[in-house]
Amino acid sequence: MANLSYGLSGRVFVVSGGSRGIGLEIARRLLRDEQAKVVLCARKQEGLEQAVSALDAGDNLVVQPTHIAREEDVAVLFRRAVDSFGRVDVLINNVGMNLLTPSTAEVNPTTWQKIIDTNLNGTYLCSRAAAQLMKGQGGGKIVNISSIAARRAAPGMGVYSVAKAGIESLTRVLAIELASDNIQVNAVAPSMVKTGFSAPFWSNPETHDEIVRGIPLGRLAEPADIVEPVLFLCSEGASFITGQVINVDGGATVV
């Protein structure tokens, strides 16, 4: 896939869940090809250290261990961004966590809360902090990573589906509420992406083949397939787009 240019040089990004998978690939593109400045967060310091080594971006990259479901951690994250780069132009809410669960009616409430906290509440807390900064800067952009699971119930993914549906609703609500502040809020909803996060599904040949049969383009998504629409939504070319969810699913939701 040829890398496009989105005119993001010098922009300051906060990317959650950025130590691996889609988040790491977003950071790589921003730093290498767009010459942007990136604040990367993840829960584990070890993962962030590995990301620093992989990205080799010098002063344009700052990392901050963050549990995004904790308000105090999120406050530290955004304070670090401002202290390092002076502002935040774009927030990419990429953190996603799923545990294979039984019927949602039978799932342990602790498991329910963990999945909701990491996906939905974390997205809310980060968006809230970013919006407060962006209002004083004259605008900004928030891009949420959802999933087609938000609109497609699947065995073992009930709570995750509910959390992602909440993220899509939050995207629309914030888009309306923040429009007058020149803050655009959108989401990208992938089908299954070939990352370590989804490996329990695609690493099983039978499950992999069953999933691919439901995708007209005949393959799973790669992280790079998701990065391009995300960066477009971060660009000035998307300045009149808000409240939208772009499916990046190889046609899976069409059939």
- Global confidence as pTM: 0.94
Give the mean pLDDT of 116-135: 97
Q: Which CATH number fits the domain that encloses residue 233?
A: 3.40.50.720
| pLDDT score at 80 | 98
Residue 3 included in any domain: no
Question: Sorting pLDDT into bands at 50, 70 and 90, what band is 110?
Answer: very high
Which listed residue (6, 13, 124, 160) is catalytic?
160
- Number of domains into which the chain is organized: 1
pLDDT tier, 2 (very low <50, low <70, confident <90, very high otherwise) = low
Would 176 be classed as within a structural domain? yes
Per the prediction, the chain carries an average pLDDT of 93
The residues, ordered by sequence, that sit 6+ positions from 77 with a Cβ below 8 Å of its Cβ are: 14, 39, 41, 64, 66, 68, 126, 129
The number of residues in the chain equals 255
- Is 243 a member of any domain? yes
Report pLDDT for 166. Answer: 98
Q: What is the pLDDT of residues 216-228, one digit of tens each?
A: 999 998 999 999 9
Could you tell me which residues come within 8 angstroms of residue 126 by beta carbon, excluding any fewer than 6 positions away? Answer: 14, 16, 68, 74, 77, 91, 93
Report how far residue 135's alpha carbon sits from residue 91's, in angstroms, rounded to the nearest whole number: 13
Q: Is residue 55 part of a domain?
A: yes
What is the domain extent for residue 117?
12-248
Is residue 1 domain-resident? no
What's the pLDDT score for residue 1?
A: 54
**Do the domain assignments include residue 67?**
yes
Q: What is the mean pLDDT of residues 90-106?
A: 87
Residue 213 lies in a domain: yes
Q: What mean pLDDT is predicted for residues 102-125? A: 93
Return phi, psi of residue 159, to 5°: -70, -40
Active-site residue 124, yes or no? no
H-state helical runs in the chain: 21-32, 45-55, 71-85, 109-116, 122-137, 158-178, 199-202, 205-213, 223-234
Worst-scoring range by mean pLDDT, 148-152, 186-190, 228-232, 241-245? 148-152
Residue 167 pLDDT: 98
Question: Which of 88-92, 102-106, 124-128, 132-136 is least confident?
Answer: 102-106
Summarize pLDDT for 155-188 with one digit per residue, the tens.
778 999 999 999 999 999 999 999 999 999 999 9
- Tell whether 122 is covered by a domain: yes
Residues 6+ apart with CB under 8 A from 180: none
